[in-house]
Amino acid sequence: MRTKFFTGEVSVDLNVHTMPGLAVAVELIVPPNGRRHVLGYRLDRVTPVPDNKLRK
């Protein structure tokens, strides 16, 4: 198994600088099968964006 890197955008309301917000960001960015089938994963970049720009 190997480490995979993921990037993604999440709502700025998640407050990814806190542990609960980061945990939710991981669930949104990393696909469920990616969490199960790799030894480790790292978030390469999490970009908080306002909700109105996220939905476009």
Name the residue ranges covered by the structural domains of the chain. 3-54
Whether pTM > 0.95 for this model: the answer is no
Q: Residue 18 in contact with residue 56, Cβ under 8 Å? A: no
25 conformational bin, left if phi > 0, alpha if psi -120 to 50, beta if neither: alpha
Phi, psi of 10 (to 5 degrees): -135, 165
**What number is the average pLDDT over the span 9-18?**
81
Residue 53 has pLDDT above 80, yes or no: no
- Which ranges in the chain belong to alpha helices (H)? 19-29, 32-37, 51-54
Q: What is the mean pLDDT of the chain?
A: 73
Q: Tens of pLDDT along 22-48?
A: 888 888 887 777 666 555 666 677 777
